[in-house]
Amino acid sequence: MVYAQTGNSAWNKTWSATTPQKDAVMSFDLNVSEKKNLNPYNDGALCNGFMSVYVVEPSGRKSLLVTYEFSLTRMEGNIAYLKFVPGRSGMDDGEGTCKAILKNGKLQLIGTDQGGKSALFNGLTFK
């Protein structure tokens, strides 16, 4: 598979995704150009990305389920390799690695946690 080189500006924005069942929505702030304080729950955190995952109840009400901080480990063309850790100390679980693939203005995340299981956001397409 061949990917065209993409400038950082195409990556750096707030991405969103919804599960196929529409029972969860995700918001992903990403900045591959530099580490920033993107985590509203940790003033000292410098990271390249921050994701909030919300559960959507049948009534339409959203409740925060989990958050993640992402750190860029390397980039290869239209693929960014990231590590993720819990975003809220003592409240969130899950850490591992993933790759983000940018293609046609959409971002797909493919990742596994340290136990080798698919990450919650695995395979979702962010717009």
Quote the percentage of the chain above a pLDDT of 90: 80
Q: Could you name the CATH architecture of 12-126?
A: Beta Barrel (2.40)
Domain ranges of the chain: 12-126
pLDDT at 95: 92
| Distance between CA atoms of residues 115 and 127, nearest Å | 28
Q: Which of 76, 117, 120, 118 is nearest to 100 (CA)?
A: 76
Q: Is the pLDDT of residue 76 over 60?
A: yes
Report pLDDT digits (tens) over 24-46.
Answer: 999 999 999 999 999 999 989 99
DSSP symbols for 32-96: SSS-B---TT-TT--BSEEEEEEEE-TTS-EEEEEEEEEEEEEEETTEEEEEEEESSTTT----E
Tell me, yes or no, if the pTM score tops 0.85: yes
